[in-house]
Amino acid sequence: MVRSAIKLFLLLLFLGYMMLWFMMPTKLYFEHWLPKIRAKTKSTYFGQQGSTMLIYTFPILFIATLGCIYLHLGKKHGDHNVEGRVPTSKLKQPVMVKGPLGIVSWMELSFLTMFVVLLAWSTTSYLNGMFTHIDQMASRSGLLVWEAKLEMSGLTLGLVGNICLAFLFFPVTRGSSVLRSIGLSSEASIKYHIWVGHIAMTIFTAHGLCYLVFWAKTEQLSQVLKWGKIEVSNMAGEIGLVCGLGMWATSLPQIRRKMFELFYYTHHLYILFIVFFVFHVGFSYACIMLPGFYLFLIDRYLRFLQSQQRVSLVAARILPCQTVELNFCKCPEVNHSPRSIIFVNVPAISKLQWHPFTITSNSNMDTDKLSMVVKSEGRWSSDLYQKLSSPLPMDGFQVSIEGPYGPPASTHLLRHDTLVLLSGGSGITPFISIIRELLFKASSGSSTRIPHILLICAFKKSIDLAMLELILPVSGTTVDISCLQLQIEAYVTREKGADEDNHKPLQTVWFKPNAIDAPVSAILGPNSWLCLGLIISSSFVMFLLLIAILSRYHNSNMVYASSATAGFNMLFMCLAIAMTANATFLWNKKQNRKRLRQIRNMDTPPVWFNNGDRELESLPYQSLLQATNVHYGERPDLKKILFERKESSVGVIASGPREMRQEVAAICSSGLADNLQFESISFTW
C-alpha cells in the first residue's frame, strides 16, 4: 500500500511538472503565474534563480529521491520476485520497424508524438506572442519587419531547444531512480537520448543560423564576439554550438559504427557544451534544464568512484571461436537480473575505453561469481583475446568495471507459454543469462510453470557453436539441463558440414589473487537506493547553502558578472555532489571492509570453478547435445518458425544484427499472428 501511494504521488507530481511545460509559453504563465511566484519566493539569498529552481529543479529532484524510497521498499519486501502470467500490452508491440527511428512500439511512438506536439505548441505560442506587436517593435528598433521576425524566430528556436535539453540527460543516467521507477533501464532508453539529441541540435543549429543571418543583414556581425556581463553572452553560445555540432556529426550512424573511438572521445565535448550553454543563458535560466543534468552528474561521479577500483579477475575461459569468458569474484549482495550489462575497462589495452558486455552468470545460481563473454569483433576485443590466449604466463590482469546495470528485476519471462529466442552471432550472450535464470527456477522445485524455450541461433562458422557450451552454468553443484524444456536450433550459414578440427576443448587461464583487487560490489552497498536518495537530497541542500552564501556576499560586497556567477554556481554544484558522494562511498567502504578482506584472502580457487574444464561425457553436456539440432549451409526461416507457434502466448526476443531484429519485428507486427509478443535487445553504443 505504501509503494502504491508513493507511485500515485510520483505520477501526480510528474503530470504537474509536464503541465508547467505546456503552460510556460502562454501569457497566463508569463503575465500572471510567474510574477506571483517570483514575488512570493523573492529572497536575498537566492535572487531570481530561486523561483526557477523551485519550479523546474526541485520537483524532479524530489521525484528522484522519492523514487529511491519506492525502489528500496520494493527490494526490501521482495516484490521483484513476484511474476505473474499477465498478458503483454499491445502498446508495446512494434509499429515501425525500418527507418531512422529503428524499431518503435506503439507506446514509444505515442510519447514521441506528445513530445513533438509539446515542441510545436511551444513554438507556435512563442511566435504568436512575439509577432503580435512586431510592427511597432521593428519601427522602434529601426528594423524591417522581416528582420524583426527573423530575430524573434531565432529567440523562439532557442527557447524551444531548451525543452529538448531539459530531457536529454535522463536516458543516459545509468543508475537513474526515475527510469527504474517507471520500469525502464538506461540501455533500453539510449535511443530516446538519440532522438532528443537530433531534435535539439537541429533546433539549436537553426537558432544560431537565424542570428548569424540577422546580424549579417543588419550589419551587426560584431555581435558574434560579444560576451556580455549581464545580458546573453553570444560568444559562449557559439562555442557551445560548435561543441554540439562536433558531437552531432560524429554520432551519425555512418560514422559511429565505423569509427566508434572518434565518436566516443568526441562525445565528451558535452562538458564544454553544457558549461558554455550556462554561460550563454545565465544560471537562472539554465535551472530549467538543470535537474536532468544534476542527476546525470551524480551518476557519472559514482561511476567514476567505482571505476577506480580494480576488481578480482579469477579466471578466463578461452573458446576456440575467438571468444573469451571472464569470471570475477563478487559480493553476494550484488544481484542482477537477466540481460544485465557491465562496462569493462582494461588499462593494458586502453585506459580510456569502456565497453559494455552482457552478464552471463545468474545471481541466484552463482552468488559469488560474475561472468561475461567477449567475442573478437573489433580491435579492442581482439587485443583482449590475444592477451588472454597468449602462452606467456600472466601473474595478474588489471580490470575495472562499472555496473551492473540492467532492466528491473521483475521480468516477464514467465508470462508466456513459449519463449522464442532469436540470435545472430554474439547476440546469443543475453540469452545465456535468461536460460540460466529459467534453469534455476526449474531446478529449485518452484510451483511456477516454466515456459518452453526455443533458441534459434545463427553462426557463420561451425567453430562458433562452442558458444552454446556457455549455456551450461559452471557451478559447484551439478544442474541437469534436462529439467528445462529447451530446444536449440543452431544454423551454420557459411559451411556445408561439420569441421572436426573445430571441436577443441575450452581452456582455462587462472590468475593469482592480488592484494589490491576487490570483488565486484555495489558502489553504494546493499541499501544502494536509499544511499542514492540521500546523496541527491543532501547534495542539493548543500548546493543551496553555497548559493545562498554567494548571493549574500554578492549583494553586500561586490557585483559579479553573470558568467562569473554561473561559474561559481557550477563549481558549487560539483563540490556538493563530490562531497556527499565521497562521504557516502567511504562510509559504505568502511562497513564492507571486513567482508572484502575475507574474500581477498582466499588462497584457493572458488568452488564454482573447480570444474572449469568441462568433461564432454558429463550428464549436463550430453543433455545439451540432445537438445541441440544443427543445420549447415542454411539460414533460419523466421516467418515459418514464428507462425507455426500455436500457443496462446509466445514471447519473441531478438538479439543480434539490426537487420535480423528488424525482420523479426516486421513478422511480429504484421498482424498475421496475434499471439506473438516482440522484444528487441540492442546496444546502440
Q: How confident is the model at residue 205 (pLDDT cuts 50, 70, 90)?
A: very high
Q: Are 48 and 38 in contact (CB under 8 A)?
A: yes
Q: Give me the pLDDT at residue 503, please.
A: 61
Q: Are 312 and 328 in contact (CB under 8 A)?
A: yes
Of 161-170, 392-401, 526-535, 673-682, least confident by mean pLDDT is: 392-401
Q: Are 546 and 571 in contact (CB under 8 A)?
A: no
Query: Given a cut of 50, is residue 255 above it in pLDDT?
Result: yes
Q: How many CB atoms lie within 10 A of CB 447?
A: 4
Q: How confident is the model at residue 446 (pLDDT cuts 50, 70, 90)?
A: low
At position 643, the amino acid (one-letter code) is: F
pLDDT, tens only, 405-441: 887 765 567 888 889 999 988 889 889 988 888 888 8
Q: Which residue has the cell 570453478?
A: 609
Give whichever of 31-40, 57-66, 337-346, 671-680 has the largest mean pLDDT. Answer: 57-66
Run of H or E including 539 = helix 528-556
Q: Strand, coil or helix: what is 367? A: coil
**Nearest CA to 371 among 408, 333, 351, 341?**
341
Run of H or E including 576 = helix 562-600
Q: What cell numbers appear for 474 in the block?
A: 559452471
Q: Which residue has the cell 563530490?
A: 578
pLDDT, tens only, 210-239: 999 999 999 888 888 888 777 788 999 999
Sequence-distant (≥ 6) Cβ neighbours of residue 626 within 8 angstroms = 482
For the chain, the helix, strand and coil percentages under 3-state DSSP, each to the nearest 5: 55, 15, 30
What is the secondary structure of 608-668 as a DSSP string? GGTT-S--TTSHHHHHHHHTEEEEES----HHHHHHT--SS-EEEEEES-HHHHHHHHHHH
Q: Give me the pLDDT at residue 603, please.
A: 46
Return d(Cα 455, Cα 453) in angstroms, integer. Answer: 6
Q: Are 586 and 298 in contact (CB under 8 A)?
A: no
Dihedral angle over CA of 198, 202, 204, 208, nearest 10: 150
Return d(Cα 301, Cα 575) in angstroms, integer. Answer: 11
Return d(Cα 322, Cα 507) in angstroms, integer. Answer: 12
Return d(Cα 646, Cα 452) in angstroms, integer. Answer: 13
Backbone angles phi, psi at 534, to 5 degrees: -65, -40
pLDDT, tens only, 266-302: 999 999 999 999 999 988 888 888 999 999 999 999 9
Residues paired with 422 in a beta bridge: 456, 654
What is the secondary structure of 44-61 as a DSSP string? TTTTHHHHHIIIIIHHHH
pTM for this predicted structure: 0.89
Q: Give me the pLDDT at residue 66, please.
A: 95
Peptide bond just before 404 cis, omega within 30 deg: yes
Query: Given a cut of 50, is residue 684 above it in pLDDT?
Result: no
**CATH architecture classification, 310-520+637-680:** 3-Layer(aba) Sandwich (3.40)
Q: How many CB atoms lie within 10 A of CB 648?
A: 11
Q: How many CB atoms lie within 10 A of CB 62?
A: 17
Return d(Cα 551, Cα 544) in angstroms, integer. Answer: 10
Q: Give me the pLDDT at residue 473, please.
A: 67
- Work out the end-to-end distance of the chain between its first and last CA atoms, rounded to an integer number of angstroms: 39
Q: How confident is the model at residue 195 (pLDDT cuts 50, 70, 90)?
A: very high
Q: Are 317 and 511 in contact (CB under 8 A)?
A: no
Alpha-carbon separation of residue 264 from 252, 354, 514 (angstroms): 12, 9, 31
Q: Give me the pLDDT at residue 598, please.
A: 56
Give whichever of 383-392, 469-478, 497-506, 578-587 has the largest mean pLDDT. Answer: 578-587
Q: Is the pLDDT higher at 377 or at 158?
A: 158
Q: Give me the pLDDT at residue 81, please.
A: 43
Query: Given a cut of 90, is residue 609 above it in pLDDT?
Result: no
**Nearest CA to 361 among 315, 398, 321?**
315
- Give percent of the chain above pLDDT 70: 87
Return d(Cα 70, Cα 74) in angstroms, integer. Answer: 6
Return d(Cα 424, Cα 67) in angstroms, integer. Answer: 37
Q: Are 272 and 265 in contact (CB under 8 A)?
A: no
**Nearest CA to 375 among 331, 337, 322, 441?**
322
Q: Give me the pLDDT at residue 105, please.
A: 86
**Pairing of the two strands 323-329 and 369-375:** antiparallel
Q: Give me the pLDDT at residue 151, please.
A: 92
Q: How many CB atoms lie within 10 A of CB 398?
A: 14
Alpha-carbon separation of residue 478 from 131, 154, 268, 329, 621 (angstroms): 75, 68, 47, 20, 11
Q: Give me the pLDDT at residue 123, please.
A: 95
Q: How confident is the model at residue 394 (pLDDT cuts 50, 70, 90)?
A: low
Q: Are 41 and 54 in contact (CB under 8 A)?
A: yes
Q: How confident is the model at residue 532 (pLDDT cuts 50, 70, 90)?
A: very high
Angle in degrees, 0-180, between the axes of helices 290-307 and 528-556, rounded to the nearest 10 = 120
State the average pLDDT for the chain: 84
DSSP 31: I
Q: Are 41 and 90 in contact (CB under 8 A)?
A: no
DSSP 231: S
Backbone angles phi, psi at 478, to 5 degrees: -80, 125
Query: Given a cut of 70, is residue 86 above it in pLDDT?
Result: no
DSSP 671: S
Return d(Cα 205, Cα 245) in angstroms, integer. Answer: 8
Sequence-distant (≥ 6) Cβ neighbours of residue 449 within 8 angstroms = 85, 414
Return d(Cα 105, Cα 95) in angstroms, integer. Answer: 5
